[in-house]
A and B are shown apart, each in its own frame.
Chain A
């Protein structure tokens, strides 16, 4: 029975040492599901490698015709870091807002 959506929930510290692992999971999900949701609510800490991963994943999804959604309430610390790094104008409250900010930036 083919499932049409999956949710990935990275937890804790999502920085460079853990990115390869997450990359593998996302790529795997892209192969198997037409829609992939990244639930960001359990992330406590990020670095620039995570931002790289988000954009790379977005590009991959576009190339494959897969839907990538960001979801879940972002913790304050990573949200502020994203805003301070210039990736969003306002501190994103949740995945949807972040997704919006990233899409806007790309546009």
Chain B
């Protein structure tokens, strides 16, 4: 059970760590942004708290040390420097390593923790010297500019600055009941998931005049309310007298608070637990933002009457005279505080309703990806069964049965679409990781580069996103390594010193187009050709166009790296990248302009699980051609075959169409029909035809992976189960074209 919680925590921590990384990178760009500083702090704070709760004590302790430093940053004792960002990023990576461990951290990890803590401590120690210097600066009369201005008129008075300084002789006296700092670690942050029903409460809090005597600081109490939820506080100051009549130990300020919380009334009562006996604390639930959304909140007049501030007659009179109620009541001698409080009450309720509605819309739950995968599998089975049912029903020719089958088909289609959409994730999650990659790699290479991302909201199937990660890493690495020049070289070419890698994603039909463009040196076609000749990819005598030269980088053997996971290697194998993308059913193309940069274009299918296919027959076997690749289907008659003299070319409306006889490729049994069909598919920029015995028709294809033994089969991307229970192989048209053309030539 505990393990399950720990796993859940690991998942959540991963998300937190990613947020932390993003926040740190944003902070690097805007080191003074207080919001970013707090969000970095909050991430670390939450990691610390939850790690402790789930028994990752070492992580919790380590995060605590980092948090201490971040707290100094928040308190402006420490400024955000490159070193701080680097160290915090390293600390983040280290926490990730620690969380991945199955056991307690070993000596190596502990040493690493210790080393990072020491470096952080050094940073803090270094800063405290600086802080003293800054504190000394604040003593400088310049820090009181208003005074400087006023003394300029009255020459010679500046000397009075700071001469009356009460309390100098009693520093550091602890205020009774002063308690913890707000927003400090005293109150653990409450997660949104474990709370109940949201409600808005009005709290009238009138501290007993002698409240200070028992060491309570009412200001601290009301400030604590903020920990429970969105809170608006209105202090009433009408009873505060002039200073000469003021009794310091009497409390005369009272408060109205409006708070929207899921913690319930008892949590609010807890805040006032120790003062409720003497002070007046009235708590009323005034709004239920979760169920009463339809009706507008009370009018100002209603609130004021309800509180006994105004009489219903006054309100009616105001309405009759078409005057603003607030104005009229204030004119009639009502304290403006009451009117202001009523207005605040209205505003608070409206705001909390809006906020909650937004929250409800954005509500989400966490489901493990295995469950999701098995759901998709089941939907796949259902789609298959549905096809079988339709086939069987057609035999009976019963109108009643057909109606049921049609309805069933509609529901199945909806279910399929909904299930697939659940698996869709915005590609931005992957994009954000690349910021770190570019940052670190540029540092290593002594280059300046930023990555710009466009279309991060574009959705793709989860599996596709996962499998896209490594190829993208390699493309981006290549751009940085070989594309972007060193700052000096860039300057010399009249480019800005900082290179830009632009990563964009957009939908295009059943595909997502991903572009990785850099503004680097571009490819040197001649050099690429030379390397290809040196490595035996091509013979020295081949005449190639510039574009053909560029495409050589995708050729196997052009680069030396062997595996796509070899992230740290140089000269990453673009052939591996290309293979990975093609395995996804996608394609990759390259464009380059010398001196201006290189662009890689990837076309990736939206999903891998279910595709629209064209079912074809070869002898007794059936195959599926992905519909997204199909251009058209044409007939191939026996006479035409005989005419082309074995060149396997066809004049298709004036264009030469090469075709491949799949019968030969798959060694299909049986007689070759007199009239065959050619399925014309895209092959990069060209078209190619696949000759089949018969085109059966459109088929909703649930993709099943081939067993390990057949996974590497060239030209086949998977299999599907047909309505009659038989199996059809799914053709990988791109690979098939490449393989078969190579065979023929």
Q: Which A residues have a C-beta under 8 Å from some C-beta of B? A: 1, 3-30, 35, 37, 39, 41, 45-49, 51-53, 55-57, 59-61, 63, 69, 71-73, 76-77, 80-81, 84-87, 96, 105-106
> Does B422 count as interface, using CB distance less than 8 angstroms?
no
Contact among A18, A48, A63, A69 with B146 in the assembled complex (CB-CB below 8 Å): A69
- Please count how many residues in chain B sit with their CB below 8 Å of the partner chain's CB atoms: 63
> Does B656 count as interface, using CB distance less than 8 angstroms?
no
Chain B residue contacts of A46, Cβ below 8 A: 219
Chain B residue contacts of A8, Cβ below 8 A: 164-166
Q: Are A16 and B175 in contact (CB under 8 A)?
A: yes
**CB-CB contacts of B223-262 with A at 8 A, as 1s and 0s?**
1001000001111010011111110110111010100000
Chain B residue contacts of A7, Cβ below 8 A: 144, 147, 160-164
Q: Are A56 and B76 in contact (CB under 8 A)?
A: no
- How far apart sit A1 and B155, CA to CA, in the bound complex (Å)? 12
* 7 A-B interface contacts by CB (under 8 A): A15-B178, A19-B248, A23-B243, A47-B175, A47-B219, A48-B217, A56-B243
> Does B212 count as interface, using CB distance less than 8 angstroms?
yes
Q: Are B146 and A86 in contact (CB under 8 A)?
A: no
Residue of B nearest to A63 (CB): B242
**CB-CB contacts of B161-178 with A at 8 A, as 1s and 0s?**
111111110111111101
Q: Are B233 and A13 in contact (CB under 8 A)?
A: no
Contact among B153, B170, B253 with A48 in the assembled complex (CB-CB below 8 Å): B253
Residue of B nearest to A4 (CB): B154
Known: A47-B175, A56-B246. A10 touches B143 (CB 8 A): no
Contact among B75, B164, B217 with A15 in the assembled complex (CB-CB below 8 Å): B217
Residue of B nearest to A72 (CB): B144
Chain B residue contacts of A35, Cβ below 8 A: 150
Contact among B151, B167, B181 with A18 in the assembled complex (CB-CB below 8 Å): B167
- How far apart sit A10 and B162, CA to CA, in the bound complex (Å)? 9
Q: Are A39 and B162 in contact (CB under 8 A)?
A: yes
Contact among B181, B217, B252 with A77 in the assembled complex (CB-CB below 8 Å): B181
> How far is the CB of A27 from the nearest CB of chain B, in Å?
6
Chain B residue contacts of A80, Cβ below 8 A: 181-183, 223
Q: Are B163 and A11 in contact (CB under 8 A)?
A: no
Chain A residue contacts of B218, Cβ below 8 A: 47-48
Chain A residue contacts of B235, Cβ below 8 A: 51, 85-87
Q: Are A18 and B166 in contact (CB under 8 A)?
A: yes
Q: Are A37 and B147 in contact (CB under 8 A)?
A: yes
Known: A49-B251, A81-B182. A21 touches B167 (CB 8 A): yes
Q: Are B147 and A5 in contact (CB under 8 A)?
A: yes
Q: Are B219 and A81 in contact (CB under 8 A)?
A: yes
- How far apart sit A1 and B667, CA to CA, in the bound complex (Å)? 115
Chain B residue contacts of A30, Cβ below 8 A: 243
Chain B residue contacts of A71, Cβ below 8 A: 144-147
Known: A12-B167, A20-B248. A85 touches B162 (CB 8 A): no
**CB-CB contacts of B568-609 with A at 8 A, as 1s and 0s?**
000000000000000000000000000000000000000000
Q: Are A48 and B181 in contact (CB under 8 A)?
A: no
> Does B282 count as interface, using CB distance less than 8 angstroms?
no
- How far apart sit A9 and B307, CA to CA, in the bound complex (Å)? 42
**CB-CB contacts of B506-520 with A at 8 A, as 1s and 0s?**
000000000000000
- How far apart sit A1 and B157, CA to CA, in the bound complex (Å)? 10
Contact among A24, A39, A47 with B220 in the assembled complex (CB-CB below 8 Å): A47
Q: Are A11 and B171 in contact (CB under 8 A)?
A: yes
Given contacts A52-B240, A76-B76, A85-B235, 8 further A-B contacts (CB under 8 A): A5-B147, A10-B166, A26-B243, A47-B217, A47-B218, A53-B246, A56-B243, A77-B182
Chain A residue contacts of B241, Cβ below 8 A: 56, 59
> How far is the CB of A71 from the nearest CB of chain B, in Å?
5
- How far apart sit A1 and B159, CA to CA, in the bound complex (Å)? 13
Q: Are A86 and B217 in contact (CB under 8 A)?
A: no
> Does B293 count as interface, using CB distance less than 8 angstroms?
no
Known: A4-B154, A85-B219, A85-B222. A13 touches B243 (CB 8 A): no
- How far apart sit A72 and B235, CA to CA, in the bound complex (Å)? 24
Known: A16-B248, A20-B248, A22-B167. A86 touches B212 (CB 8 A): no
Q: 7 tightest A-B contacts by CB?
A: A86-B233, A60-B243, A15-B175, A19-B248, A84-B223, A56-B246, A47-B217
> Does B138 count as interface, using CB distance less than 8 angstroms?
yes
Known: A27-B244, A52-B253, A85-B222. A5 touches B75 (CB 8 A): no
Chain A residue contacts of B233, Cβ below 8 A: 84-86
- How far apart sit A21 and B173, CA to CA, in the bound complex (Å)? 14
Chain B residue contacts of A1, Cβ below 8 A: 156
Known: A16-B175, A23-B243, A72-B143. A5 touches B248 (CB 8 A): no
Q: Are A59 and B242 in contact (CB under 8 A)?
A: yes
- How far apart sit A11 and B222, CA to CA, in the bound complex (Å)? 24
Chain B residue contacts of A18, Cβ below 8 A: 166-167, 170, 173
> How far is the CB of A6 from the nearest CB of chain B, in Å?
5
- How far apart sit A60 and B217, CA to CA, in the bound complex (Å)? 24
- How far apart sit A29 and B161, CA to CA, in the bound complex (Å)? 13
Q: State which residues 668-690 of B face A: CB under 8 Å.
A: none
Q: Are A86 and B222 in contact (CB under 8 A)?
A: yes
- How far apart sit A76 and B243, CA to CA, in the bound complex (Å)? 26
Known: A39-B144, A47-B219, A85-B222. A11 touches B151 (CB 8 A): no
- How far apart sit A60 and B246, CA to CA, in the bound complex (Å)? 10
Known: A7-B161, A47-B219, A87-B235. A16 touches B176 (CB 8 A): yes
Chain A residue contacts of B245, Cβ below 8 A: 56
Residue of A nearest to B241 (CB): A56
- How far apart sit A48 and B626, CA to CA, in the bound complex (Å)? 73
**CB-CB contacts of B626-640 with A at 8 A, as 1s and 0s?**
000000000000000
Q: Are A41 and B219 in contact (CB under 8 A)?
A: no
Known: A4-B154, A5-B151, A8-B165. A37 touches B182 (CB 8 A): no
Residue of A nearest to B337 (CB): A105
Q: State which residues 171-224 of B face A: CB under 8 Å.
A: 171-176, 178, 181-183, 207, 212, 217-220, 222-223
Q: Are A9 and B165 in contact (CB under 8 A)?
A: yes
> How far is the CB of B362 from the nearest CB of chain A, in Å?
26
Chain A residue contacts of B176, Cβ below 8 A: 15-17
Q: Are B167 and A10 in contact (CB under 8 A)?
A: yes
